Structure 1
Amino acid sequence: MKLDQLRAFIAVVETGSFRSAAEAIHKTQPAISASIRILEEQYGISLFDRDSYRPTLTSAGHAFFLQSKKLLSQAQQLDNLGHDLAQGTTTPLAICLSLMGLDSDCMGRIKAFQLHYPDISLDITTDHLYGVQERLIKNKCDIAIGPRYGLDDRHAFIELNKIQMITVVSPECFNTFNSNGTKIKPQQLYKLPQILVSNTAESATENGHRYILPTGKRWYVNDFQAKKTMLLHGLGWARMPKHTINSELDGGQLIPIEIENFTSQSQLPIFMIRMRHQTQSYQAKLFWEMMKNYSPVEE
């Protein structure tokens, strides 16, 4: 019995299929099947009911799964401890934050955690759209915070809060629409670029954006700061997280617009996310629980 064989077995159980397990742990489907077969032959048991359409644990398989989880968790903890002892330091907790969700709620949660656990180091990166979940899948972060892009049964997640998305343009652009208080027709926007933040996921087969006009120009930038700068200079229109442009809205530098047959405004849930099959470190468990139970202190 090898740990890689146990990882393959656990991945099949937790993802629900051999194909999904292969994707989750970056193995080929034949390699996953071979690992399961070796385990079954070694102990003379059947781990899965072969008569079911999807992999279903036998009673022996269920018992084997429970102990496999414990053993793999202990092995992972021992491996983490060995690395920490060798380095003489505690491995930083890797957090990936979506560019869309960097509001006061998210910052308040992280600040509260850092104040409560000042000795835990955080390694924070940012990403966008499916790039956030890709970092989790590739084991480049322990926990992510962002919208529900690309989530499936491989992920464990809970909703933390909601952000407001709003469609805006500069006054310069708005004055060319002659809308007279009515909704803007999509045709009026075809010549004005829709500004979008690029999907950063390497494995993405599409751009990942849900709210785009089917016709018209599109310009892509790397982050929301660049997006806002282009909006302020009248170079296009865009949906923006409202918390990133509150001062510009108050000052009249950006104007909300309503577009026919388009989701001009919406509430976007923000989730805390981790991979189900990954063993969580002590630091990650502390972070997960504190973020989940966080409530802002009223002044």
Structure 2
Amino acid sequence: MNLVQLKMLDAIVRTQSLSQAALALHKSQPALTLAVKKLENEVGFELLDRNYYRLQLTEKGRIFHREAALLLGAESHLMQLANELALGNEANYKICYEQLCHQPFYNDIICDAFVKYTSTEFSVTSGKRFASLEQVNKAQVDLGIGPWFDLFHATGDLESLPIGKLDIGIVSANGLLPNKVDYEQLQQYPCLAMFESDMSFDSERLSYSKGSAMMKIDDVSTLKSFLLSGAGWAIISLAHCQNELDSGALQQINIIDREHTFSAQIRVFRQNSTHHGPVARAIWRDFKRLSKEYLGK
């Protein structure tokens, strides 16, 4: 038994797919199949139940994988610590913003760390819906900033801090449709929406649209530009288009028979780890201060 075998098993468990695990690990599917079979022979019992469309762990496999995940986590923390000791701090610190949640004063915290830790390369990304949660859970980034719902705790071992509020409404170009409609009337107009993530709870069912023409976009600035062009209506952060709403270029749509404005807490979150480097600790400390200020309002 070795760490490579355990990493292969963990990738299969996370993706529930041999092809996706092979893609993530840059291995062939036969290599993964052979590695898991060899591991099963070494431990003396089947780890995977292959009787379903998606691969699942057997009862013994769940217990084994739980302990293996702890070992892989310890190995990851050890490598992180080794890199930190060698370089003085993290070589790279990765952040993923949910595009609808961007606020300038969040940037201030990140900028302070960027200026202070000059040997650390900072990477800031965004993307499709719930990208920040997805990338934190997959350990592709160190920190996520995005809308938060209680079920997110069930997606991984996360710690989070509330830092703001997100107000969402239905918006269109002024005059494209009446500013008061019922839900069925709304479906007669084309809808603009962000791409869904790969999270299990995320799907088109979360969309407010039901049967209307759909344009999917992966960038909120592009989405707003199509709104201004009159391509359709969208559910969007009201803060992102407040200037256009004030000027009359965009209008907020009221749905007379359904809820049409929504609010969510914005949180900063990361994997719950036994070790975080100096950059991670500094950023988290400053966000914790911001969280206290936000909760004290």
CA deviations on 1:97-147 (whole Å, 9 max, x unpaired) are 111111234333323443555554311111232332332344321111112
Task: State yes or no: 1:187 paired with 2:199.
Answer: no
What's the % identity of the aligned pairs? 18
Q: Is residue 99–residue 127 contact of structure 2 (8 Å, CA) maintained in 1?
A: yes
Report the CA distance between 1:244 and its aligned residue.
1.0
Report the CA distance between 1:69 and its aligned residue.
7.0
- CA gap 1:229/1:243 in 2 versus in 1, 3 angstroms: same
Among 263, 270, 274, the alignment partner of 1:267 is: 263
- Counterpart code for 1:154: G
Correspondences of 1:1-299 after superposition (within 5 Å): 73-78=77-82, 81=85, 84=87, 91-115=91-115, 117=117, 120-148=120-148, 151=152, 152-160=154-162, 161-174=164-177, 177=178, 183-199=180-196, 201=197, 207=203, 210-276=206-272, 280-294=276-290
* TM-score, scaled relative to structure 1: 0.67
Higher normalized helix content (fraction of residues): 2
C-alpha separation between the residues in 2 aligned to 1:285 and 1:4?
A: 30
* TM-score, scaled relative to structure 2: 0.67
Where structure 2 has 5 or more consecutive residues not aligned to the other structure, the ranges are 23-31, 45-58
SS at match of 1:172: coil
Q: Is residue 6–residue 72 contact of structure 1 (8 Å, CA) maintained in 2?
A: no
C-alpha separation between the residues in 1 aligned to 2:263 and 2:199?
A: 27
Report the CA distance between 1:242 and its aligned residue.
1.5
C-alpha separation between the residues in 2 aligned to 1:205 and 1:31?
A: 31
- Counterpart code for 1:124: V
Report the CA distance between 1:198 and its aligned residue.
1.4
Aligned-residue RMSD, C-alpha: 4.5
- CA gap 1:113/1:158 in 2 versus in 1, 3 angstroms: same
SS at match of 2:144: strand
Report the CA distance between 1:81 and its aligned residue.
4.7
- Counterpart code for 1:101: C
- CA gap 1:71/1:5 in 2 versus in 1, 3 angstroms: same
Report the CA distance between 1:254 and its aligned residue.
1.1
C-alpha separation between the residues in 2 aligned to 1:276 and 1:29?
A: 31
Corresponding pairs, count = 268
